[in-house]
Amino acid sequence: MSESGKRKKRKYFLGALIIGIVILTLFLSLRKKEVDYFVLEQRDFDYTILASCSVGYPKPLDMTFQQEGTVKEVLVSEGDSVKKGQKLIQLDDFKQKQQLAIDQSSLKSIELRLQNAREEMLPNLKERLREAEINLQQARSTLDRYRKLEAAGGVTKSDLERVENEYKKAESRLNQARTELENFEKSGLLASLQNELEIARSRLELSRRNLEETSLLAPFDGKILNINVQPGERVTPGKRALTMLEDKRWNFVLNADQRELPFLKPGLKAFVVLDAFPDRKIEAEVVYVCTEIDRETNTCELRIEVREDVSFIKFGLAGKAEILAERFEQALAFPVSLIKRGPEGEFVWLWEENTARKHRIDYRRTGERLAIARNLKPGQIILNAPAESNPKKIKMSKRAISL
């Protein structure tokens, strides 16, 4: 084939290729895109909230010694049920009892001394003050009379001076008696004894507390899980003595999305399936809803309490919780994913008379997955088309979406 023939052949090929691309582009631009659809139906359904959970309460309590000592007696065994206030472990308390007796005797001695000061010494000082006041009054009366006599020439000046000196002595004795009484009450023996009394009471209270701390008592009704000491063992403050569990119903802890908060309240029925026991469904009830939202996770803490006696539950076990949040009757529920957003707001694509059209949607959200339509009717078809789609190029497929 000549060179000119080859060039003609290439031109024909390129022309046919360009015409094919144009035809394909035109075909694709005119072709409608098939999308899945959902048919609205009235139905009754329970809205449930699902979340991972774990046994969080009651927590095992580690009980420790508050002071150093030697274990005298262990009064319980692992697995025992105990009552609040029951003695569990006793340390050797000889020194504590001895110190308590000494402090009680010291307090009694100070109380007797204080009683004597108040009942004998204080009345004596008050009586001396009263006598000094009477003597001063008599001395003043005598002084006034002598001054009048001396002015009338009835007594000599030396007699008046003697009476004036007696008055000054009586005044000095009154001031001294008043000072002694004030010092006795405020800074003297009585004040010192009162201070000693307070110190002695504090020491006695400390001795009582030290004696009480030699006994380890149950803080609540519960069960002994572990015992970590034995008789004769020397222990120090902070040493773990035993672990016990409060006799309360088990509580599971879970974190629900904050968008579920409108549905959450105490008293809701719930079910839990533990990972370790997948064949057992445990009945429970919501007893606590968070008072604030965790800002880092945007979640709300819930606690659900087991309402039945389940022997195999242990602290820390993990599982899945299902909370029956609300019951809907004859509701037009549809997937939230069908709601689109555009410049005009939120809308759905409706399929009517073989044509797609936008419809502003009024709805109530029920969790992360579902919504309930307020301004749609049963039987209407919602298309799952992108928000920016051209309605003329949307075609309903044969694939229906289910809840």
Mean pLDDT, range 41-67, rounded to an integer:
91
Mean pLDDT, range 341-356, rounded to an integer:
92
User: Given this model, what pLDDT does residue 185 score?
Assistant: 62
| pLDDT at 184 > cutoff 70 | no
Q: What are phi and psi of 343, to 5 degrees?
A: -55, -30
- Give dist(CA 240, CA 229) in Å, integer: 8
4: confidence class by pLDDT, cuts 50, 70, 90: low
Least confident of 138-147, 157-166, 174-183, 292-301: 174-183
Q: Which positions ≥6 away from 244 have C-beta within 8 Å?
A: 60, 61, 63, 82, 218, 222, 223, 224, 225
Task: Out of 136-145, 155-164, 198-207, give the one with best mean pLDDT.
Answer: 198-207
Q: Which positions ≥6 away from 310 have C-beta within 8 Å?
A: 250, 280, 282
- The amino acid at residue 187 is S
User: Given this model, what pLDDT does residue 143 score?
Assistant: 82
Q: Which positions ≥6 away from 329 have C-beta within 8 Å?
A: 44
Domain boundaries of the chain, sorted by first residue: 1-31, 61-92+214-246, 95-211
User: Given this model, what pLDDT does residue 28 score?
Assistant: 42
User: Given this model, what pLDDT does residue 47 score?
Assistant: 83
Mean pLDDT, range 48-62, rounded to an integer:
92
Which residues does residue 251 pair with via DSSP β-bridges, in sequence order?
57, 305
Indicate the length of the chain as a whole number: 403
Q: What are phi and psi of 333, to 5 degrees?
A: -90, 145
61-92+214-246, CATH topology level: OB fold (Dihydrolipoamide Acetyltransferase, E2P) (2.40.50)
Exposure of 191 in the CB half-sphere (CA atoms within 13 A): 9
- Give dist(CA 179, CA 125) in Å, integer: 10
User: Given this model, what pLDDT does residue 27 score?
Assistant: 43
- Give dist(CA 116, CA 48) in Å, integer: 78
15: confidence class by pLDDT, cuts 50, 70, 90: low
Question: Residue 191's Cα: distance from chain center in Å?
Answer: 46
User: Given this model, what pLDDT does residue 16 score?
Assistant: 60
Question: Residue 186's Cα: distance from chain center in Å?
Answer: 48
- Give dist(CA 403, CA 337) in Å, integer: 11
Q: Mean pLDDT, the chain, as a whole number? A: 87
List, in sequence order, the alpha helices (H) in 187-256.
189-212
What SS3 state is found at 252? strand
Exposure of 140 in the CB half-sphere (CA atoms within 13 A): 9
Q: What are phi and psi of 156, to 5 degrees?
A: -85, 165
